[in-house]
Every structure is written in structure tokens, then in C-alpha cells.
Amino acid sequence: MTKTMASFPAGGTAVVVGATGGIGGALVQALRQQPGFSQVVALSRAGTPPLDLTDEASIAAAAAAAALGTPPLRLVVDATGMLHAAGQMPERSWRQLDPAQMARSFALNAIGPALLMKHFLPLLPREGKAVFATLSARVGSIGDNRLGGWYSYRAAKAALNQLVHTAAIELARQRPAAICVALHPGTVASALSAPFAKAGLEVRPAEVAAAELLAVLEALGTASSGGFLDQHGAVIPW
């Protein structure tokens, strides 16, 4: 178990969006072991109320429900994301670029998380540590891109990083103790990584990733807001 997350004021609410995912599910389990949070709200398309990234009204309704009559939202983790879907695999060449598939990747990996920020950041308390973290990916780093390929996913995650950085600037004006970050979870066994794990990619259990991510969230200070960090808290180049 991760050490107690004592940097957050005790008794708050933690929210995980994408609770049905490999990493999201492990985050819910790990947060439920944390005595510092009085409740953990698990949101997903299959939940009540359902939250679908492509339906802004469902995001607004789920955010309002998560905040209604609960202790202050101290932690919101967005663990949604899409690398492949039925009939859609990451591109290996520009020849495979397809506008509809690109739009889907941007909708799920950048626009959806931006709408989560729109509806959840105003719910963070004005005082005391509070964090909104979204799971990005190292492959969204332009500076770190040596292999090419995966055009849509890389570009959508790069856009997500810019959206996080921009929102963090606005957040700091209103809630100086609050933090907004993009985190890379490392390579993790999940439905998202499964096709590539078979190809020899080394994956770690989601429980390990969740514990590492909670340790990073615990250590975060306001100086890191707007940043892009890996599962050890190290800064990733843009």
C-alpha cells in the first residue's frame, strides 16, 4: 500500500474518471485504502450517473453529482484514454492517417479531458491542497519522439499536455493551492497496452502503477502545477 497521503487535507473526496479501465480500477482500489479520503467516487460510462467523454452534458451531470453533498473534492484523477478501438490501430505511417480516426483520438484523448477540466476544476476548494491529474503518455512528448508512428495518439496527448498547462495558469489565479498536472503512468498491463505487450513490450501490473501514481500525487507541490511528469515524479520534456 502507498504511504498515507497526508499532504491532502483529511476527509476529502477523491474522484476517479475511467474507473472501469486497468489503471483507473487499480486507482479506485488503492484510494479506498487511503484513510485520508472519506470517500472515493468511481465514474465511468457504465456508472451511475454515466460519464461519456463525448457527451458534455453527461460530464457536467457526473461532476455535479460527485460534488453534491460530499466533502470537498481534493483529488480528481482522469484515467480515461484511447490508443486503439474496433477497426482502429495506431498509425505506423502517414499513409494510414484517417480523418475520422484522428478526430476520435482527439475527442477521447484531448477534448474529453479538457471538458473534465472545465467541469471539475471549478469544484476544487479555494483553500488547501487539491489536485486534478490526467493520464497522458510519454509518447505525447515531442522532445522525446525518436521512433515516430502513432500519429493521432501522440498528437492528441501533446494537445492534452498543452490544455493541462493552460488550465493550470488559470487555476493558479483562482485557487493558488490547487494543482493541475499530466502524468505518464509507465507501461502498464491493460486492455490499452495488450496488443503491444504481445509484441514484446514489458508491462507492469496496474496495482504497481496506481501505487506509484499516488506517491507522485502525494509529493506534488504547486511548483509542479501545469507540468508533465512520469510515474516517478520526473519531469518529461514537452
Ligand X SMILES: NC(=O)c1ccc[n+]([C@@H]2O[C@H](COP(=O)([O-])OP(=O)(O)OC[C@H]3O[C@@H](n4cnc5c(N)ncnc54)[C@H](OP(=O)(O)O)[C@@H]3O)[C@@H](O)[C@H]2O)c1
Binding site for ligand X (CB under 6 A): 18, 20-24, 44-46, 51-54, 79-83, 108, 135, 137, 184-185, 187-188, 190-193
* Of 172 and 196, CB closest to ligand X: 196
Least distance from ligand X to the Cβ atom of residue 187, Å? 4
Strand ordering across the sheet containing 73-78:
37-43, 12-17, 73-78, 130-135, 178-183, 228-229
* Of 56 and 128, CB closest to ligand X: 56
Least distance from ligand X to the Cβ atom of residue 189, Å? 7
What are the C-alpha distances in Å from 122 to residues 81, 115, 131? 22, 12, 12
Are 24 and 16 in contact, with CB atoms under 8 Å apart?
Answer: yes
Least distance from ligand X to the Cβ atom of residue 9, Å? 27
The CA distance from 128 to 74, in Å, is: 9
* Of 9 and 55, CB closest to ligand X: 55
* Of 6 and 191, CB closest to ligand X: 191
Residue nearest to ligand X (CB): 81
What are the C-alpha distances in Å from 12 to residues 127, 213, 218? 12, 18, 14
Of 109, 36, 101, 107, the closest CA to residue 79 belongs to 109
Least distance from ligand X to the Cβ atom of residue 88, Å? 12
